[in-house]
Amino acid sequence: MKQMMFTVITLLGILATAVVAAQEPKPVKGQGCVAAGVEASCLVVKDVKTGVLYNLIFKGAKPDAGTGIEFTGVPRDMMTTCMQGTPLEVSNWSRVDSLKCPSSQAPKP
């Protein structure tokens, strides 16, 4: 009986892990010009290939508005004070000087 209970609990744990893993959004990569959001301290970027507007969430150093960047991040299903674009938790980014960005680009939804 104890062996059967252990097996059931183990299988439930494996199933729960699989469900959580299946729900984790896949990282996205993109490029675009960073712009100031409509709310203070918010940064957004419109990916040049897909046209998707992202609300950039940085944990460390962040680029200035008007900077061209290449970025990788994970979309998050959450509310933010920025109220623009898909929240994207940026895992890494780098400057792309070949993108010609206006120094004070207005955000475009």
The model's pLDDT over 42-95, given as tens digits with 9 standing for 90+, comes to: 999 999 999 999 999 999 999 999 999 999 999 999 999 999 999 999 999 999
Pairing of strands 43-46, 28-36: antiparallel
What's the pTM? 0.73
Instruction: pLDDT band for 104, please (50, 70, 90 cuts).
Output: low
Strand partners, 27: none
pLDDT at 14 over 90: no
For residue 65, the model assigns a pLDDT of 95
pLDDT tens digits, one per residue of 21-31: 557 889 999 99
> Is pLDDT above 50 for 106?
no
Buried b (16+ CB within 10 A) or exposed e, 19-37: eeeeeeeeebebbbbbbbb
Q: How confident is the model at residue 102 (pLDDT cuts 50, 70, 90)?
A: confident
Domains and CATH numbers, the chain: 28-95 (2.40.50.140)
